[in-house]
Amino acid sequence: KLSSPEKNVSPGDTAPDQRFLRQCAFMAEIFEKLIKEISVGTRVISLSGLTSVAAKAYLLNKLRRETGKAFAVITESNREVENWISDLNFFEDENKEKASPVTDVSEIIGLPSFDADPYSGVSPHAETQERRALALWQLRLGTSDIVVLSARSLIQRTVTPDEIEALGSILTRDKDFAPETLIERLFAGGYVREEPLFGPGQLSVRGGIVDVWSPDADAPVRIEFFGDTVESIRTFDPETQLSTGQLTEIAIAPMREFSASAQDLADWSFFAREKFSHERFARNLKDRTDFADEGETFSGWEFMIPLSKPLGASVFDHLPECIFVMDEPAAIEHSLTGLYQHLADRYRAIGDSGEVGLEPDGLFLKPDELRDNLERSRSLELRALGRTAAGIDAEFQVNEGPAGETTTGSPSGIRSASDAPPLFLFPAVNKAVEMEFQSRSTRKFHGDIQAFVNEAGPAIRPQDGQSRTGIIVQTPGMAERLEEILREYNAPLAAESIRLGSLSSGFEFPAFDLSLFTESDIFGETIQPEFRPAKTKGPRTKVKLGAFISDFRDLKTGDYVVHIDHGIGRFDGLQTISSQGAEREFMLLVYTDNAKLFVPVERMDLVSRYSSGEATSPTLDRLGGIGWQKT
């Protein structure tokens, strides 16, 4: 283990500087060894000492540029996915600024998992479906060298690469592509008809002209056909309807990964009646087949459609040549252990209560399948404490008591991850090349500028004008403010010391003689990283939404409102409901056929007031119907 350079030494003492240079040289050798191990195809490499997502993202960015390999980062949850993407984008943006021409910049793809319980009867959020479909489409096109996904995405079954390709379309000017085929694919891939277009995922058809807005595009395109031949492809402004440019080719991504045509739903209805023929399922099944028989989707259909259209792939099929970067394997294993146990318990519970649902094995990889895939893949393990600590944890997990016993008093009778048998996905006993990179979090100064100047001042204003210390701020205004403050403290900055961007945390990386501070490190302000699913060439047109309700005094009984997931309903006042000895207050929304939806008052941010220029009352949506999805 390498110690940090000593501080508080006399000005004439150069020994600490020499020691620091030797440390940097030694760490440079380790980095070169790491590149070599990756290049020769070593199956498992374990890195320890990296203590923050920002430091890990910096190292991975360098590895991608040095090796030219593709990487898939596996995190514990969707939250870590967003942190990783934000930090990777920061370093990729810096690469883009320095590259001339830009030949060394990668698109960062995020593949979030569905956050909905597959046995709750609720569909995944539309935005999550869009992001997943776009990610799988981009992977099929090979447009990225880095993809970030959660542990749940790793085990989630999905469509094959060929199936996701068939849901999207690539059109070339002066080549044949039947407009009927394009329209059929767009509807199957989740697009809805709208005239005129105002957002991604919409299409419009007028004779031989098809307008469509792909989710990865900044603006819609207008495709003109002469028979089955693509005569022209033009981008246009959705507000003015005026053309803004000509294209020779366009790739149109799907809005969801699952196809659901009217025939698909009719087939599902047939197989569902056979599988769930017992009378205890009759009522719950009818709620779904009534929609499916009419060719309409129903709430939660994404977790039921594999009954008639089995899912034949996982992310391993979409990432055949990737090196899997396991961000804290112990946390990933713990998360998956709990998830497998939760799925098994929920499936048993719905069966006992007469609700329909598919076996977990039809929706997620079985543990044995996951282990087999991991053993066939190359992996880079990022462990803060190294494999020795992991080995001790594994031994403790095996010897701590009988596995699989139900913990008394656990909520809903669901066993926790610690009660379930270990999966042993990343056994520390397996052979691996082990290396250590030391990184540490930067000090938090909480607004003490003098302390910051005393510690970081000499590094950010070296005599040669070059600095390996940077301060990351989010806005130009903050950059100007910081420069003024530091001048007042007689600590003018070296060139390029202040950088614009968003980083989840500051860090010090002695191996590369690098220190990065964020504005939150200095001022104590909290930075929320922004998730960017894909880089865009310009600002996307914003869709104007109604104002969300901030006070119940904004509403009176009988007012029309819009729930972000369920559509137009009528506000019928507040109701207090007792549950498990506690009372909670709900907003009561009424839909078609007097269907009632109770929204907890703490989630009133999901509801906005209905507004329209028309004097007539709106038509209420149908709970679970396809009408609001189309709108």
- How far apart, in whole angstroms, are the C-alpha atoms of residue 106 and residue 73? 14
Predicted confidence (pLDDT) per residue in 252-281, tens digit = 999 999 988 889 999 999 999 999 999 999
Structure tokens, 191 = 């697009």
Mean pLDDT of all residues in 559-566: 89
- How far apart, in whole angstroms, are the C-alpha atoms of residue 45 and residue 433? 5
Whether the predicted pLDDT of 100 surpasses 50: no
pLDDT, the chain, mean: 82
pLDDT score at 461: 52
pLDDT score at 458: 56
Q: What are the distances in angstroms from CA 577 to CA 263, 574, 587, 599?
A: 42, 10, 11, 11
What strand order describes the sheet that includes 192-193?
A: 192-193, 202-206, 209-212, 221-226, 229-236, 243-247
For the chain, give the percent of residues with pLDDT over 70: 79
Whether the predicted pLDDT of 65 surpasses 80: yes
Predicted confidence (pLDDT) per residue in 23-33, tens digit = 666 677 888 99
Within 10 angstroms of residue 327's Cβ, the number of other Cβ atoms is 25
Mean pLDDT of all residues in 591-609: 84
Mean pLDDT of all residues in 182-206: 92
pLDDT score at 389: 53
| SS3 readout for 296-320 | CCCCCHHHCHHHCCCCCECHHHHCC
Which amino acid is residue 525, in one-letter code?
A: E
Q: State the burial class of residue 121 (Cβ atoms within 10 Å of its Cβ: 0-12, 13-18, 19+).
A: buried
Q: Point out the least confidently predicted range of 146-150, 170-174, 497-501.
A: 497-501
> What global pTM score does this model have?
0.75
Q: What are phi and psi of 202, to 5 degrees?
A: -120, 155
Nearest to 563 by CA among 629, 617, 513: 629
Relative orientation angle of helices 282-292 and 262-275, to the nearest 10 degrees: 160
Mean pLDDT of all residues in 416-441: 73
Mean pLDDT of all residues in 541-555: 46
Q: How are beta strands 243-247 and 229-236 bridged, if at all?
A: antiparallel
For the chain, give the percent of residues with pLDDT over 90: 47
Q: How are beta strands 249-252 and 169-172 bridged, if at all?
A: antiparallel
- How far apart, in whole angstroms, are the C-alpha atoms of residue 425 and residue 545? 45
- How far apart, in whole angstroms, are the C-alpha atoms of residue 291 and residue 282? 15
pLDDT score at 410: 33
**279 CB contacts (<8 Å, ≥6 apart)?**
none
Q: Point out the least confidently predicted range of 40-54, 60-74, 521-535.
A: 521-535
Q: What are the distances in angstroms from CA 228 to CA 171, 177, 224?
A: 11, 6, 10
- How far apart, in whole angstroms, are the C-alpha atoms of residue 606 and residue 41? 49
Predicted confidence (pLDDT) per residue in 107-127, tens digit = 899 999 998 899 988 899 888
Q: Mind giving me the DSSP string for 431-479?
A: --EEEE---EEPPP-TT-HHHHHHHHHHHHS-TTS--SEEEEESSHHHH
Whether the predicted pLDDT of 604 surpasses 90: no
pLDDT score at 236: 94
pLDDT score at 359: 96
Q: State the burial class of residue 192 (Cβ atoms within 10 Å of its Cβ: 0-12, 13-18, 19+).
A: middle
pLDDT score at 544: 34
Q: How are beta strands 582-590 and 567-579 bridged, if at all?
A: antiparallel
pLDDT score at 347: 95
Residue 54's SS3 state is helix
What strand order describes the sheet that includes 607-609?
A: 596-600, 582-590, 567-579, 560-563, 607-609
Between 517 and 510, the more confident residue is 517
- DSSP assignment letter at 511: G
Q: Is residue 45 very low, low, confident or very high in pLDDT (cuts 50, 70, 90)? A: very high
HSE-CB of 323 using CA atoms within 13 angstroms: 25
Predicted confidence (pLDDT) per residue in 433-482, tens digit = 999 888 888 888 888 888 888 877 655 555 444 556 788 988 888 888 88
Between 188 and 531, the more confident residue is 188
pLDDT score at 450: 87
CA angle 228, 229, 233 (to 5 degrees): 125
Q: Is residue 146 very low, low, confident or very high in pLDDT (cuts 50, 70, 90)? A: very high
pLDDT score at 9: 41
- How far apart, in whole angstroms, are the C-alpha atoms of residue 47 and residue 380? 7
Predicted confidence (pLDDT) per residue in 195-251, tens digit = 889 889 999 999 999 999 999 999 999 999 999 999 999 999 998 989 999 999 999
Q: Is residue 411 very low, low, confident or very high in pLDDT (cuts 50, 70, 90)? A: very low
Q: Is residue 182 very low, low, confident or very high in pLDDT (cuts 50, 70, 90)? A: very high
